[in-house]
């Protein structure tokens, strides 16, 4: 009979602090399968960002647009850290509209906020995301509100990203969501203040009308 077998049904909890049991816990180590999955996700994300960076070696000039068709080797979200890097500044103002998104991209959004790359973040998603991806929805909402940012859910299917600084107004319009997209997708990346403000206006109107949350 092992220490653990003996302890079941007993009031004696000394086994919990025994050297033997502590050593067994130490020997077990980290949950390796989870660690491998996390490492794989990070590697895949890094590769996708690298591909996006190769496609977008520079920002569009004022009034210029880049039209891109992807073959599934990178995702919509891959452009966002790349554009942030090309903007080469802190405090970028971010608006993101998508039907749904995954946890990894929400985590990267939080990282950009925590490092000060993004100064403000506003997320707009579809009701589908709130209902069908409840755990990721809760993760996103909690993370945004803790960081003093904004979120709204409504019957949304628009995929638009705004990244603004005093000198640039980058708009990314595309067919894909903020998820993994192993399909042919199209994107237009534009540097245009009027287009940026056009999208910002309807996003702000949905924040005012919709089921929105504002962090403090």
Q: What is the pLDDT of residues 144-175, one digit of tens each?
A: 999 999 999 999 999 999 999 999 999 999 99
Q: Is residue 68 in a domain? A: yes
Q: Is residue 23 in a domain? A: no
Q: In the predicted model, is pLDDT for residue 34 greater than 60?
A: no
DSSP state of 116: T
**Averaged pLDDT of the chain:** 80
Tell me if residue 9 falls in helix, strand or coil.
coil
Q: Is residue 64 in a domain? A: yes
User: Could you report the per-residue pLDDT of 78-124, keeping only the tens digit for each?
Assistant: 899 999 999 999 999 999 999 999 999 999 999 999 999 999 999 99
More confident residue, 207 or 47: 207
Under 8 Å between Cβ of 212 and 152: yes
More confident residue, 93 or 38: 93
Under 8 Å between Cβ of 150 and 214: yes
At 8 the pLDDT is 34
Of the chain, the percentage scoring pLDDT greater than 90 comes to 56
**Which H or E run includes 120?**
strand 118-126
Q: Is residue 27 in a domain? A: no
How many domains would you assign to the chain?
Answer: 1
| Least confident window among 10-24, 90-104, 134-148 | 10-24
Phi, psi dihedral angles at 128 (to 5 degrees): -55, -45
Question: What is the C-alpha separation between 196 and 200, in angstroms, rounded?
Answer: 6
| Least confident window among 53-62, 139-148, 156-165 | 53-62
Q: Is residue 129 in a domain? A: yes
| Least confident window among 10-14, 29-33, 121-125, 136-140 | 29-33
- For the beta sheet containing 150-154, the strands, ordered from the edge strand earlier in sequence to the opposite edge, are 65-70, 185-191, 169-174, 160-164, 92-97, 118-126, 150-154, 211-214
Domain span holding position 72: 32-214
Q: Is residue 139 in a domain? A: yes
Q: What is the DSSP string of 122-184?
A: EEEEEHHHHHH-HHHHHHHHHHHHHTT-EEEEES----EEEEE-SS-EEEEEESS-BS---S-
The Cα angle at residue 174 between residues 153 and 87, in degrees rounded to 5: 95
Q: Is residue 3 in a domain? A: no
Tell me if residue 45 falls in helix, strand or coil.
helix
CATH of the domain at 93: 3.30.870.10
Q: Is residue 11 in a domain? A: no
Quote the pTM value: 0.76
Q: In the predicted model, is pLDDT for residue 39 greater than 60?
A: no
Of the chain, the percentage scoring pLDDT greater than 70 comes to 74
Under 8 Å between Cβ of 116 and 91: yes
- Residue 131 CB coordination number (10 Å): 10
């Amino acid at each position: 009979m092992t220490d653990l077998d003996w302890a079941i049904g007993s009031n004696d909890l000394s086994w919990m602090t025994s050297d033997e049991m502590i050593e067994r816990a130490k020997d077990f180590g980290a949950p390796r399968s989870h660690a491998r999955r996390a490492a794989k996700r990070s590697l895949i994300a890094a590769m996708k960002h690298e591909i996006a960076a190769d496609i977008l070696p520079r920002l569009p000039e004022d009034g210029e647009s880049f039209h891109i068709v992807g073959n599934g080797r990178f995702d919509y979200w891959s452009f966002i850290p790349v554009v942030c890097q090309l903007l080469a500044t802190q405090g970028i103002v971010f608006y993101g509209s998508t039907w749904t998104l995954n946890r990894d991209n929400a985590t990267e959004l939080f990282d950009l906020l925590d490092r000060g790359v993004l100064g403000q973040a506003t997320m707009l998603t579809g009701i589908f995301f709130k209902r069908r991806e409840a755990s990721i929805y809760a993760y996103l909402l909690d993370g945004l509100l803790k960081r003093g940012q904004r979120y709204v859910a409504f019957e949304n299917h628009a995929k638009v990203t705004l990244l603004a600084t005093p000198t640039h107004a980058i708009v990314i319009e595309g067919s894909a969501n903020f998820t993994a997209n192993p399909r042919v997708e199209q994107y237009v990346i534009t540097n245009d203040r009027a287009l940026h403000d056009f999208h910002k206006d309807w996003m702000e109107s949905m924040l005012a009308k919709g089921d929105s949350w504002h962090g403090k």
